[in-house]
Amino acid sequence: MTEENKHCYIKEGKLALPYQYFAGRIGSKFLVSLRDKKKILGVKCEKCGKVFIPPRKTCERCFEDISEKWVELSNEGEVTNFTVVRTDDKHHPRKAPYVLAMIKLGGADTPIAHILDGVDPDSVKIGMKVKAVFADKAVNTMLQIDRFEPVK
Amino acid sequence: MKKHKKNRNVAIVGIGQTHHSSHREDVNQPEMIHEAVELALKDAGIGIEDVDALVHGNMELFEMVHQPDLWHVIGTGGYGKACYRVTTGGTTGATIVGVGDNIVASGLHDIVMIIGFEKQQEGHTTGGITNMADPLWARNLQTGALTGATAEKTINEFGADRAKRAAMRLRVTLDKHASLNPHAHRNFGLDYDQIDDLMVNSPQLVGELRLIHMCSQSDGAVAIILACEEKAKKISKKPVWIRDHVTVHREETFNMFGINENQEVTHHNAARKLFGRNGITNPREYFDVFEMYDPSSWWGLDWLREFLQLEGDEHLKMVENDEVSINGSFPLNPSGGVISTNPIGATAALRVAEAALQVRGDAGAHQIPREVKHALASGFGGTFWTVLFMLEKDLDWQEAE
């Protein structure tokens, strides 16, 4: 501590920021399908042909209403990118080390982020084939897909 | 007063708003915004590809989302466009229209869409506002618009019975207006014979500010498309011209415990500047409608005096004589105002939108039953921010010297 900042006081603060996040009718239909039918749905823009997951009301490029253009996606896909989480934290869903991967499902044009289990973190590769494993209980979030695992 | 000159004229050419409600579980934020965007584009008869830039605004932290403009792109159509995010508290909706006016007038962009929204059901508004307090010196303590100070001031000046009666009469009048507006969040079906009852039985919030006097917490969005004169005349059969707007604020000098009672209120200052530089000597006569940002009936009553530069009890008389009703000589908030509908980031933009609909004659059931050529619209928020707009039906005004 230098002489200049010796008597510079700081008031500590902490904020609680409660909020809700609404899935909306379209997002909710996706979650219900995951939970009740173990089917992963996307929406397709018929103008540009892109299939989006998570689903959305509008194609942001074409500005088309695609909210009713549901398509069923494969439960399998490939890793387009990944990171290895190597630190433990109470908010993390797994004990370190574990893999968070971007996974592009068969039939989709956009990848989703999810947990990739059942593989040594050091042997994960981009392009690796993986499949969804669904949760046994109702979760009603993206963790209705409990995890992805490599296709054996 | 210094002459005010715009680089080029700017008009409102498209307006879209959602239905406003406390419950929008059916949509997420970008989906809700998209409803307003689609309606505004349809109203203007243009596509998103015709829009050069977007100005996006809401209250900081009200949905507890950081940089909402980025993940709202799905709904706003902002992909690849010039985008601005603006947040100035409750005033946001008016500031984004002001920014739109400026960036079109300057020549930077020809067609700009402004988008104001709030989805208060998802967040925690008090959590957002409380962050404004200075944690060390306890300055800028804010409870939003929840203050009984104006009620107390009005009661001290005009007597309890007359003051309370006038504030409640204004409340009932605006509820009647809201009942004509299909987009309005709340209308209770109030009538003037309930005034005595409400003055006593509506729950007190702070002093004589009662629950019935206070604005709602709403979910909703509004989009307004602005265009330069050349484009506006091609796009719209009924462009509404933004003649001028002014912003006045006093930032951190607002302090609930040290307010200078002799200080000119920002509303009064804004109106004085705007009217002065546009040669408006009798605003009550000049303007055909006023869409005021009225967070409570007490403020609505008091601010009539400030904006219209009135003396004595003229503002009370305007309410007592029903001059401010939709059929009166100076209709105030034919939409029902903020008291009925308050999706905060959209609220002040809705004042401009509703005023413009009146000028176009497109307000529907709450259209004033006579020609509207000149409209006034105000925004309010934060530590007394005022943004004040003048809208015109015709491009025929003379520049004030």
Q: What is the pLDDT of residues B5-38, one digit of tens each?
A: 889 999 999 999 999 999 899 999 999 999 999 9
Give pLDDT, residue B294: 96
Encoded tokens for A142: 């993206």
B142 pLDDT above the threshold of 90: no
Handedness of CA B36, B37, B40, B43 (dihedral sign): negative
Give pLDDT, residue B141: 62
Scanning chain A, the segments in alpha helix (DSSP H) are 24-37
Give pLDDT, residue B206: 92
B330 pLDDT above the threshold of 70: yes
Query: Residue B2: pLDDT band by 50, 70, 90 thresholds?
Result: low
Residues on chain A touching B119 (C-beta within 8 angstroms) = 22
User: In this complex, is the C-beta atom of B123 within 8 Å of any C-beta atom belonging to chain A?
Assistant: yes
Reported for B44-49, long-range contacts at CB under 8 A and 24+ positions apart, including other chains, are: B44/B13, B44/B14, B44/B225, B44/B235, B44/B236, B45/B14, B45/B235, B45/B236, B46/B13, B46/B14, B46/B111, B46/B225, B46/B235, B47/A63, B48/A63, B48/B77
pTM of the model: 0.94
Q: Is B121 close to A22, i.e. CB distance below 8 A?
A: yes
Owner of token pair 């400026």: B102
Query: Residue B252: pLDDT band by 50, 70, 90 thresholds?
Result: low
User: In this complex, is the C-beta atom of B66 within 8 Å of any C-beta atom belonging to chain A?
Assistant: no
User: Stretch A18-23: mean pLDDT, rounded?
Assistant: 90
B144 pLDDT above the threshold of 80: no
B139 pLDDT above the threshold of 60: yes
User: Stretch B95-119: mean pLDDT, rounded?
Assistant: 98
Q: What is the full DSSP assignment across B271-323?
A: HHHHHHHTT-S-HHHH-SEEE---SBHHHHHHHHHHHHT--TTHHHHHHHTTT
Q: Is A22 close to B25, i.e. CB distance below 8 A?
A: yes
B178 pLDDT above the threshold of 60: yes
User: In this complex, is the C-beta atom of A22 within 8 Å of any C-beta atom belonging to chain B?
Assistant: yes
A93 pLDDT above the threshold of 70: yes
The Cβ of residue B99 has, within 10 Å, a number of other Cβ atoms equal to 19
Beta bridge partners of A70: A43
User: What structural domains does chain B harbor?
Assistant: 10-126+219-229 (3.40.47.10)
Pick B253 or A58 by higher pLDDT: A58
User: In this complex, is the C-beta atom of B28 within 8 Å of any C-beta atom belonging to chain A?
Assistant: yes
Encoded tokens for B138: 């306890």
B377, B355 Cβ separation under 8 angstroms? yes
User: In this complex, is the C-beta atom of B77 within 8 Å of any C-beta atom belonging to chain A?
Assistant: yes
Pick B38 or B132 by higher pLDDT: B38
Closest CA to B349 of B42, B69, B81, B113: B113
User: Stretch A116-136: mean pLDDT, rounded?
Assistant: 97
The Cβ of residue B226 has, within 10 Å, a number of other Cβ atoms equal to 33
CA distance A123 to chain B (A): 33
Give pLDDT, residue A6: 83
Share of chain B above pLDDT 70, in %: 94
Q: What's the longest Cα–Cα distance across chain A?
A: 68
Q: What is the full DSSP assignment across B316-352?
A: HHHHHTTTTSTTSSS-B-TT-HHHH---HHHHHHHHH
Beta bridge partners of A79: A103
CA distance B179 to B184: 8
Query: Residue B262: pLDDT band by 50, 70, 90 thresholds?
Result: confident
- For this complex, say whether ipTM is above 0.85: yes
Give pLDDT, residue A5: 82
B64 pLDDT above the threshold of 90: no
CA distance A4 to B263: 39
What mean pLDDT, rounded, does chain A reach?
94
Closest CA to B97 of B297, B392, B379, B401: B379
Give pLDDT, residue B382: 79
Q: Find the range with the poorest average confidence among A98-102, B26-30, B62-66, B365-369.
A: B62-66
CA distance B12 to B172: 31
CA distance A37 to chain B (A): 22
CA distance A122 to chain B (A): 33
pLDDT in tens, B270-299: 999 999 999 999 999 999 999 999 999 999
Residue of A nearest to B134 (CA): A11
The Cβ of residue B9 has, within 10 Å, a number of other Cβ atoms equal to 19
Residue of B nearest to A67 (CA): B31
Residues on chain A touching B27 (C-beta within 8 angstroms) = 22, 24-25, 57
Owner of token pair 């549901």: A70
Residues on chain A touching B35 (C-beta within 8 angstroms) = none
Give pLDDT, residue A13: 86
CA distance B28 to chain A (A): 5
